[in-house]
Each structure stands twice: as structure tokens, then as C-alpha cells.
Structure 1
């Protein structure tokens, strides 16, 4: 059984009496908006802070070829930010609104993910209630991934890219191919300058296009050895993949993007949770992969049922291929699993009526109100209990008073996630950190070495003294804290998350 690459029939227009309901649900994007508000109230993303200072540096120096000068551990190291465009945007949000600006920037970027899911889902024929229910269920494992980080922008771009690639692949005529290719190049070029994760988009599109080609007319032409027809059928798929590949090269790194991505991966696997393979992933990360695998199973089931009726929509093989590539990627690195879930959501919502019993659509319509309302009530409750925390560092970070207590010009041995915050708030005072989340700058050997120091390795205090380190900002249970106190280091500040010690 082969599939047709003819365009899927246009989605039916909802009855006027349902339009107000769809509008109230924001077409299905409401769960993402609510999660965005929750994440902005309980801010827990440490990388955002060094991205703010990086964006300011890019604007000041008018180049993306930078030299590390915020730390004592890697001073003088040349580096290139892998999200320079995003860094500039988050810096502008900080300049315009401070903590509140950072909070609203988070709301905007996370909400854009929901908008992308809705736009593509509606194009595939998914109803707003189905999108609302599927999205609400999906944001449970995705909440940890949705925050003020360049990956969030990548999620929205990836969903749109796969949707546009499928549309161009199913199109007809030279004009649609040229316009579609231009759109793919433009979208990918924008994405790669916001975040180098655009390479993941290339892999997903290539996988989707490849499966669509193998499942479509090319399969029949190969069996019948009609090679001229095969060549003709491959032109448009080659245009789609080539356009996305060309867009990936439209960054200051050019062809160096592949080496840069490989370097980041190499320096991340051993220490960074989201780069961990599935067998080492934390439960919440493994749960995201399971959700992605379930989404893929739903799409495969829908394909089989549609094939049995000889009514496979042309876009379905493309989606199955794209999601499958990302699910496989999630086995080796957890960060690909949320990408797989988000790409799958529009398609899962579209095929939901075909893979569920007849009574389910009525249940979906009811849940489309109940689930977002439940999440909304939770978000409002959180917001009302801590209205002053909007956009501000959450309880996992040291307080402003603790950060302010660091002496000017001090070299600090700090926990990995908070270096960016220290640089943002105290960098102008000459405070230098040991690390700030840029593992590709410091290198895994240096990061592991500082971890050993914090864990009280033999001679740790002597090593720090030789490096000119005069401050420790660590969690109270670090063995080095007890060693420092015994050696006469003074505790000058303390909060629920950190203790600050200054050398005698």
C-alpha cells in the first residue's frame, strides 16, 4: 500500500456557534500561555542571565566572535555564542523592563510555542478542542523545558518548519516550489541565528521528507523501474531538504555550525542533564521521551488505519518521519525529546478522531474547558501567593542580599547554574565567577575539576588560594564549606539556597 502526496483536503470550518469557544481557548494555545505565566513566576533558568550579558556584549562589540572575560576559570578563551540572536533579544527585554521585562519575555516566547502548534494543527485540520486537550496533556512533561531559554524559540521554529516543509512537499507547480523554498530558507536562517539547534530541524525535515518519498509514488516507480519518473518525483523533496540546509548555513559560523554543534555536545554529555542519554536521564526527562514515543505510536496507528481504508493524508508520512528522527535522537540526548513531542502535537490532534472511539470527541470537548481551567486556577494561585517574584530568580538561586554581600573584585567559586546571575548583578564590580552554564566555553575537564573542589578534594583550599579565589558561594552541604570554616573563612551571608564565605 502506498500513500498519495496529494494535498490533504482543507480543514472544515467550525460552525459559528463554536467560534467564541475556540477564541476563548486561543485555538488551543491557552495551556502554553498558562504554563508561560507559571514559569515566569517561579523562574529557575540560570542560563538566561549570562545570555543577557552576552547579548549586551554582542551589541557593544558588533560581533559574535567574543572572548570570555566574566570568569577566572576560562579568561581569555575565544568563543562564539550559539544563540546570539536570542541573547540580543533577551538583553533588550532586560533593558526595557528589568525583572518584569524578563518575565514578559518568557511569557511571549513560551506562548509562541503554543501559537506555532495551533497554526500548524489547524492547517492539518485539527479542531480547537482537540488541540487544547492534547496540548494540556503534553505540557505536563514539557513544563520543565519551557522557560526563558533559546530552546523555547527553537521549539516554535521547529514546529513551523516541519509544517512548512510538508506544505511545500505536497505543493504543485514551479512557482509554489520556488516560493516555498524561499520561505524555508528564510525561516531556517532566522532560526539558526537565534539558536544553532536549527540543525535538529534539518534532521527532522530530512527524515520526514525521506519517509514521505519512500512511502509515496517513488516506491511504485522504483518497483516498475520507471527511472525518469523517479527522478521527477525527487526534485521537490530535494528542493525542500536543500532549502533547509542552505538556511542552516546562513549564520556567522557558516559551515562551522556543524563543528560548533559537535563541540557543544562533546562538552555537555558528561555533566548536563538535557544532553544525557536516555539510560542516564532523570525521571522527568525520561517521561518526556515516553510521551514522545506515545505520540509517535499514535501517528503510526493513524497511518495504518488510514492505509487500510486507502485514505492516507499526504502529510502523515512526513510527520511520522520527522517525529521518529527526533524520538531516536532523544535516546542519545534527552533534549530532542521535547522537540519530538511538540512536532507531534499538531498531527496527533488532527488524527485524534481516527484513532479514538466515537464517544471520545464529546469527552474532548468537555475536557477542552476543564483541563485549561484547572491549570489556570493553579497558575493564578501561584501568582497570588508570590506576586513580587514575577521574572525574578526563584528559590534555587541566592538572594539579592547574598549576591550583594560579595566583595567587589572577588573571584568566586560558585555553583554551575548561578554564575550568570552573579555576572549580571555584580560583573560591573569586578566580580569573576568560576562557571556560568557555558560548558562549551569552560570545557568539561575544567567543570569537573571545580566540582571536585566543591566536594572537598585534597588540597582544594590551597588550589583556590593559588588561583586568587577569595569567595565561596555554595550550597551549605558542600564538603568544601566545612573545610573552609575550619580553615578560618568567614561566613558573611547565608540564605535558604547558598552560603557565602570570604577568605581570611
Structure 2
């Protein structure tokens, strides 16, 4: 509990700035869903693909953000996401405790893992994936331990149903349960539990269909992957990236420890996350979160504990210093809590866009425009599965100032792009456009 309380300031610090474009259009979509009492079926936000069929893979999460926004604006959105992060930290510590890890080592392992995870703990439905995977592993372990684990089976059913509606990442849970069932069957000491794991696999498969799109959600998930070729987080694992390499190494170490301990559930879950991370780097945080409890338990060796006891004062002072700094930063940042990151988003320029103006915008800026200026149709935003890889690539070429720019801006009456782009430089010298607003993060141009 003390380790978890020490983690809370880090959850608040991460939620200070909202830096993901997804967050903003998800809030607006949630507000639209609440207002109309139904899930949007076609795109209502752009002028380039207006009316195109749109499948939402996180409709319930959008509604949660919508209610949070109605209650307290973006502060409410940041606060609910900070609560999600706090739950993630709590589940990591709880799993470490169940594996026999010492509290002090669990705390240090979690604090060491926080810097690696910071970039991924943004206000997006992936937070639900992190919580759900950790909870799923906890329930699967109960299938091994409890004589007649009816309640863990029911818990898995409820978890999967909630998960698939909050985010389509629930399909990862099916893979984890399937891999766990296989390892439980192959291990002689747990083979008698195979029936319960097969039941869990059937439950997760059936409950994954309990969503507004049914089995169509699988096709939508595959479409997201195919249409995200130019998106960084969907790229395969890159060992040349130091952050990715460290995270992957931690995952492999956790996999080795889990296999050596003979733990079929953690071995299966981490193994699935390793395969997922190779295919797409966005799975790396799940890999690290699953590995942390295993590594905390592994580190809780008598020799290590004696060393910590002999250096108790040193570690206490170090932990106190880290915690004081974290609390200080959290308190200092409270006045800015929930703001769109000023290093990425030009709020003044967005306010200056004429009403109803068809906007050509940079990819990351579309989300905040959708939230703050729903009267302004955007050209593109981070719903890359809706726009398709070809349209996203063409938008990036225009942004770089390549090709026929007059043709690229056809249909647009306003442009909102970063000042360092090739398009911004071209517009500054083009008599057909006038600069209306300029900020370090973006310039707004109006067609004459």
C-alpha cells in the first residue's frame, strides 16, 4: 500500500499535459454519442471523408471521457486517466505480492519501470488494455489455484465484456487465454486444470463478440493494422531504438524467469506479449508491465533482501528524495493539470479559424480542432484507419511541400500547419494565402 501511494504522484505528473491527438477526438465522439444516444456510424468530423462508414474500436471509453469532460472539462479527462494509471500501478504491485515479492523490491522495480512506460501512459484506451491484461492474468492464476474456480471464470467473462467495449484490444486476451490453456495442458502438474482453461477460452471468445459490431470487430482490428503502416507505434520492434531494446530485454528476462518458475499463466502472457511486440511496438508496454511482477519476485532473494537491509538508510534516503521531487512536481503542475500540451498544440490559432472553414491541417492537430472547434471540418486526424494509409501518406507529402501543392490544397480554405514545414514556407510566399495567426507550434493561413 505504501509503495502504491508513492506511485500516485507519478500518475498525476503523467496526466498534466494531454499530448495525444486521439484523446481530443475521442472526447468529442463521446459527447456526440451521449447527445445522440447512439454510436456514430459515419464520419461526422472531416470534409475529406465525410459520411464514410466508421467503426469505433473504443466507443465505451469515448463515452467515459465524454462524461468526464461534461463534469470537469479536460481536467476531468486527465483525472480519470490518472486514476487508470493508478490502477495499473496497483495491479503490478498486487501481482508482485501474489508471486511472493518483497514490498521494498516491488516498489523499486515499479519505480524503475515508470520512466520506460511514461510515453505510453497517455490518455488513450490503451490504458484499459494495460489494466485488463494484468487483471486477466490475476484471474487466470486463480483458475490454477482455486479447487472449483467458478467465480474467476465469471470474472473473466465480465472483464472481457467490459474490455471489448472499452477497447478492441480485448482480442489480445483471447490469445493470452489460449496460450495459457496450452501450457497448462502440457505441464503435468497443472493438466487437471485444463478443462477450466478451455472453459475460460470459450468464455473470452464468446464475450469478445458482445459488442456493437460482433465478429466484425476482428476485421476492423486487422484493418487498423494494415492502414497504420506509416504510424510509429504500429511499426515492428526496432532493436536500434534504445528504449525499445531495453523494454524488449526486460520482457525477455521476465519470460525466462516465468518459464524457470514453471508459471504457465505468466509464461503464456509474456510470450504472447513478446510476439505482439515484435509485430508492433505498441505492445511493448504490456510486455514490460507483465514482466515487472515476475522480476520483483525473482529479485526478492534472501541475499538481495539482506543487502537492502544493510543499506536501509541509504535506500530510504534515496526513495525519500525521489518521492519529494515527484510530489513537488505534481503540486507545481496542478494549475496546468489537463491542458493540451503547449509544445504540440496551438490553441490561439485554433480559436482564430473562421467558422465553417474547410481546414487542411497537420495530422496531429486534427484531434484538438475536432474538440474545440466542432464547427470546423478537418482534412485529417489520427483516425488513420478511417482515412487509409494512402490518404495519410498524401497528406504528409503535401505537408512537406512536395508535389502540386495547389492540387493538394484543393477544397481547403484554411491551413493549420507547423511553421517549419515545407508547406508553411510555400504559403508564406504565396499571394493567394494570408497568414492570420502564428504560434511556435503552428501557423494559420486563410485563402484570399
Residues 1:254 and 2:214 are matched in the alignment = yes
Residues 1:500 and 2:444 are matched in the alignment = yes
Measured in 2, the distance between the counterparts of 1:155 and 1:490 equals: 46
Residues 1:204 and 2:176 are matched in the alignment = yes
Equivalent residues of 1:414, 1:474 under 8 A apart:
yes
Equivalent residues of 1:410, 1:431 under 8 A apart:
yes
Write out per-residue CA displacement over residues 157-179 of structure 1, whole angstroms, 9 at most, x where no aligned residue.
11001110121133323xx2x33
Pairwise CA RMSD of aligned residues?
2.4
1:189 and 1:291, CA in 2 relative to 1: closer, same or farther beyond 3 A? Answer: same
How does 1:185-224 map onto structure 2 within 5 Å?
Answer: 185-217=157-189
1:185 and 1:472, CA in 2 relative to 1: closer, same or farther beyond 3 A? Answer: same
Residues 1:436 and 2:381 are matched in the alignment = yes
Write out per-residue CA displacement over residues 31-56 of structure 1, whole angstroms, 9 at most, x where no aligned residue.
3x222211122331221000001111
How does 1:44-443 map onto structure 2 within 5 Å?
Answer: 44-173=19-148, 176=149, 178-217=150-189, 234-268=194-228, 270-279=229-238, 282-300=241-259, 302-303=260-261, 316-354=263-301, 357=304, 359-362=306-309, 369=316, 373-383=320-330, 386-427=333-374, 430-443=375-388
* C-alpha deviation, 1:191, in angstroms: 0.9
Which of 456, 475, 486 does residue 418 from structure 2 map onto? 475
Residues 1:459 and 2:404 are matched in the alignment = yes
1:441 and 1:470, CA in 2 relative to 1: closer, same or farther beyond 3 A? Answer: same
Measured in 2, the distance between the counterparts of 1:99 and 1:246 equals: 36
Equivalent residues of 1:166, 1:318 under 8 A apart:
yes
Equivalent residues of 1:113, 1:156 under 8 A apart:
yes
Q: Secondary structure at the match of 1:262?
A: helix
Aligned residues: 447
Residues 1:25 and 2:6 are matched in the alignment = no
Equivalent residues of 2:344, 2:441 under 8 A apart:
yes
Give TM-score, length-normalised by structure 2: 0.92
Q: Secondary structure at the match of 2:168?
A: coil
1:445 and 1:280, CA in 2 relative to 1: closer, same or farther beyond 3 A? Answer: farther
Q: Secondary structure at the match of 1:397?
A: coil
* C-alpha deviation, 1:127, in angstroms: 3.0
Greater relative CO, 1 or 2 (CA 8 Å, sep 6+): 1
Write out per-residue CA displacement over residues 383-423 of structure 1, whole angstroms, 9 at most, x where no aligned residue.
46554321001123333212111111111121212211011
1:122 and 1:278, CA in 2 relative to 1: closer, same or farther beyond 3 A? Answer: same
* C-alpha deviation, 1:189, in angstroms: 0.6
Q: Which structure has the bigger radius of gyration?
A: 1
Equivalent residues of 2:308, 2:315 under 8 A apart:
no
Give TM-score, length-normalised by structure 1: 0.83
Equivalent residues of 1:50, 1:421 under 8 A apart:
yes
